Amino acid sequence: MDTKETKSDKKKVVAVVGGGLVGALNACFFAKRGFEVHVFESREDIRTAKVVKGRSINLALSHRGRSALKHVGMEEKIVSQGIPMHARMIHTPDGKQSPIPYGKKGQYILSVDRANLNKQLLTEAETYANAKLNFDHKLQDWNAETGTMTFVRGDGSREHVLADLIVGCDGAFSAIRKQFMRRSRFNYSQTYIPHGYMELTMPPRDGDFAMKPGYLHIWPRNTFMMIALPNLDQTFTCTLFMPFDEFDKITTGDQVLDFFEQYFADAIPLIGVEELKSDFFRLPAQAMVSVKCSPYHIGDKCVLMGDAAHAVVPFYGQGMNAGFEDCIVFDEIMSQFNEDLSAVLPEYTRVRVPDDHAIADLAMYNYIEMRAHVNSKWFLFRKYVDNFLHLLMPRTIIPLYTMVTFTRTRYHQAVERWHWQDKVINRGLFLCGTGAVLGGSYLLFKNPPNIDKIDIEKLWNRLLSFRNF
Ligand SMILES: Cc1cc2nc3c(=O)[nH]c(=O)nc-3n(C[C@H](O)[C@H](O)[C@H](O)COP(=O)(O)OP(=O)(O)OC[C@H]3O[C@@H](n4cnc5c(N)ncnc54)[C@H](O)[C@@H]3O)c2cc1C
């Protein structure tokens, strides 16, 4: 295999614990800087494994994630293997479909295959002569004072490893984070939402996608929802998000069918009746957790990144993107402080915690927006107003979704700006409404209509038809 030579006069050892999406990418960032990098992953090598267990089959990659991939020269390769999604396609209960664009013309998010992305990042990390991947190494414990880690292998043997810097990228249930929990002044909170998720496959139809592929399809049904992202093999992966109580009520194939007939009737022929009845019981619904903590570092020895630092619910499509952005932010601070870890680590906590907490909160907010608000006419009206104002004043009014998904505006600043814009736009709409009522009243007063010519009953019925707006 070709390996990249780096300016490797530095011999500091960086141990990246977890070879998932963020760990594998981080290995490239540290290797590029010339550190001696060792990745320790508890699973076997997913590139050769027969069965790859894990979470969602595909994910939405957007600007922040792409920027991080660009830093290590991987953006083009990954983008070429993704499917652009320009809009959400809303499926109503009666089977109608209507698109809501994600942003301006030409702006899109990408549906990418999780396993393939992880494999490509691992392969990229291996191209550096100073990076080594160690699979079947499960971190059991580590010592914050000495930097010694203990790994357990599949055969039960143990290995002790020493590193100058430990980077915890071992996911939402991080073993690295356990040491943080034992320390004073470490803040931690975790919330399981009442919803679980289940993935169902929609096969191709007549050799093509069963639905339009350029969209993220959404069936919002208030207390629950289903989404579908396209895959390169022309399947869609549908993900049903629903409270566990509701999942528990469905115990037979016929009940699955009844439930789908009531809420997702248009999806039944596309998934297939028999497939739906069996797929539903293939795996139990999975839980979703939101984790916030602070600080992200211990001295100059250890730092948390990705889900280990901030697991977020998946409703903003930002978990991985935020984790990838962690890698760039850390890298930027490394340059700023000349790789002095005793200064870099506290600065990383200072800069990154408010942003990761903001995206965790936004993801919780979208948990409601995606399944309930997109059904509301006021919400849709406001989306159009926001997009229209953004067209008129692209630098002054920027929709929240655009800031989060298509820019690297710091998450917490995006939230602050969103609140300010919301206040200004709502006030503007109120003033326009008041102006229209006053103006209309004045005109009516000046030119009173001939009341005999107005069909009052018809007018009343027209007004009633607007009551849901
Ligand atoms: C249903 C769903 C849909 C999602 N959709 C999106 C999306 O569209 N867009 C998006 O940006 N994000 C999405 N996410 C979030 C995204 O999956 C995560 O944010 C991302 O996987 C985090 O990467 P990570 O590397 O930090 O953690 P993980 O992907 O969890 O990787 C952690 C790695 O550490 C290893 N590990 C764990 N413990 C140990 C140990 N003790 N020793 C050694 N290794 C260990 C694990 O085996 C794993 O390989 C979604 C999440 C879910 C659940």
Q: State if residue 60 touches ligand 1 by the CB under 6 angstroms criterion.
A: yes
Contact 66, 76 (CB under 8 A): no
Inside any domain, residue 131: yes
Indicate if 159 and 50 belong to the same structural domain: yes
Indicate if 183 and 201 belong to the same structural domain: no
Average pLDDT over residues 401-410: 97
Indicate if 27 and 161 belong to the same structural domain: yes
Indicate if 333 and 397 belong to the same structural domain: no
Residue for token digits 């250890």? 302
Over residues 294-341, the pLDDT tens digits come to 999 999 999 999 999 999 999 999 999 999 999 999 999 999 999 999
Over residues 27-54, the pLDDT tens digits come to 999 999 999 999 999 999 999 987 766 6
Q: State if residue 323 touches ligand 1 by the CB under 6 angstroms criterion.
A: yes
Q: Residue 145 C-alpha to ligand 1 middle, in angstroms?
A: 27
Coil, strand or helix at 70: helix
Inside any domain, residue 99: no
Tally of domains in the chain: 3
For the record, the structure tokens of 441 come out as 């009243």
Q: Which of 370, 404, 423 is the last residue of a domain?
A: 370
From the CA of 22, give the closest atom in ligand 1.
Answer: 25
Contact 39, 133 (CB under 8 A): yes
Q: Residue 92 C-alpha to ligand 1 middle, in angstroms?
A: 32
Percent of the chain clearing pLDDT 90 (strictly above): 76
Residue for token digits 């730092």? 303
Q: State if residue 168 touches ligand 1 by the CB under 6 angstroms criterion.
A: no
Q: State if residue 169 touches ligand 1 by the CB under 6 angstroms criterion.
A: yes
**Residue 46 to residue 51: CA distance in whole angstroms:** 8
Q: State if residue 199 touches ligand 1 by the CB under 6 angstroms criterion.
A: no
Does the pTM surpass 0.85? The reply is yes
Fill in the DSSP letter of residue 92: P
Indicate if 127 and 241 belong to the same structural domain: no
> Residue 61 has what pLDDT?
98
> Residue 425 has what pLDDT?
86
Max CA separation in the chain (angstroms): 94
Indicate if 349 and 397 belong to the same structural domain: no
> Residue 380 has what pLDDT?
77
For the record, the structure tokens of 308 come out as 């280990």
Look at the chain and count its residues: 469
User: What are the DSSP E strand ranges found in 163-316?
Assistant: 165-168, 187-202, 215-221, 224-230, 236-243, 286-294, 297-298, 302-304
How far is residue 432 from each of residues 152, 421, 425, measured CA to CA in Å? Answer: 67, 16, 10
